[in-house]
Structure 1
């Protein structure tokens, strides 16, 4: 085989799991070293940006006829917030169930665990603060007409009206898929937008519970007085957060780390 053909074969070969793992691990190391202020501002921006998932889905749903196929179109709006956050390199909590965990799995120590806890807490708090601010503005101003705001309420109720264990299991699926999205992106090259849209569309269509996108929807109810904060906290946030962490850490970070480590032996 000619040298040029070998080079072309090398270029066309699929990126190995080891390369993907190392790419994400290095990114995780960089994120763990970032100051709290940088993480906080980025997390706040991400929480605000995720509000556009609610807005885009609500606007599409409001304009479509009430027929069985309406979710197949309106749920594409759910992807908008994720596109802004991921392509804008903003800090989203569920991405860090993979990105921040790989460095910890690679070099376990109490110091590294403390760095992960610092990043998780900073990003989670600022993501939720941004989500609440966005929900409050949308729910308490005339930015959108009453019909669209009624649609936002319907979306929020559809997200919140489930038992604890249902939300937890749906949260596992959401955390699993979002962490898988992060795992796929290093090999995506020009297909990054497609991967983000496909994965997050599936999360939205399956009504899997996402701690930030879903919180915007449910906090909209809180901001308009349709739901108490305690019901959001205990009835939605807690089970969804647990599920997202389990799905991202156990089903993506730990399993993919294990396959890479096993492949090196």
Structure 2
């Protein structure tokens, strides 16, 4: 088992590598992540359409949470760039003095833009194909989106902090994992928790809310923009502060 110092060193090394990557590579990888993560919300729509249960039913909730994790498994095991991983991962070399805030901002900006654009393209393609699939109802996507947008704005921000916190912990756990099975388990455990709690994840939620916006009248553009902006801010705070700063602080102060 890796020590806390070894995990931190691994994260600093990975973060430095990503910060130093060329713009084209980062953009393509993050665009790919935005596409791939959309399979989670798409599968959630299928399950909610075909299941006899609904939100509030334990078995359906577990199925939906597991479906939600599928997109994350595709992205993280596929080594694509996900903004919410970098809220903690890429902060480490900055705190350690090996990278600048400017370089961190560049990485975050490129990865975030690629993730959002990829999610938009995936949603558009899925909406075009949905009538031919015959297994998804537009109402299912409206139901999924409403779980994220029908809350006070302060809830979106605070819950976004928790989602970012969990994603930062996931980056830490992935760095500690010794094999693929462990990584899959950690990804499922953390992202299914986010799904069960209906916490706003800015990148997966981008697709969830866009589906509702494109297919129903229950979600407005204002709902979408409010969700995206507050979830993004909350995710960044949760990953950078509650994982990046705190993990770095306790490890460098003598943790084993």
State the TM-score, normalizing by the size of structure 1. Answer: 0.89
Total equivalences in the alignment: 248
Structure-1 residue corresponding to 2:159: 170
* Match status 1:17 vs 2:17: no
1-structure distance, mates of 2:145, 2:119: 13
2-structure distance, mates of 1:91, 1:143: 31
After superposition, the CA RMSD in angstroms is 1.7
2-structure distance, mates of 1:49, 1:41: 12
Structure-2 residue corresponding to 1:35: 22
1-structure distance, mates of 2:227, 2:16: 31
Shift of 1:221: 2.4
Which of 122, 126, 144 does residue 114 from structure 2 map onto?
Answer: 126
Shift of 1:56: 1.6
Shift of 1:28: 0.6
Shift of 1:149: 3.0
The 8 Å contact of residues 172 and 246 in structure 1, kept in 2 or not, is answered as yes
Shift of 1:148: 3.1
* Match status 1:86 vs 2:72: no
* Match status 1:228 vs 2:220: yes
* Match status 1:243 vs 2:234: yes
* Match status 1:156 vs 2:148: no
1:55-107 C-alpha deviation (Å, 9 max, x unpaired)? 12222222222262211222110000000000000000000011110000000
State the TM-score, normalizing by the size of structure 2. Answer: 0.92
The 8 Å contact of residues 61 and 71 in structure 1, kept in 2 or not, is answered as no
Which of 73, 90, 99 does residue 100 from structure 1 map onto?
Answer: 90
2-structure distance, mates of 1:157, 1:144: 23
Which of 185, 198, 211 does residue 202 from structure 2 map onto?
Answer: 211
For structure 1, list consecutive stretches of 5 or more residues without a partner in the other structure. 1-13
For structure 2, list consecutive stretches of 5 or more residues without a partner in the other structure. none
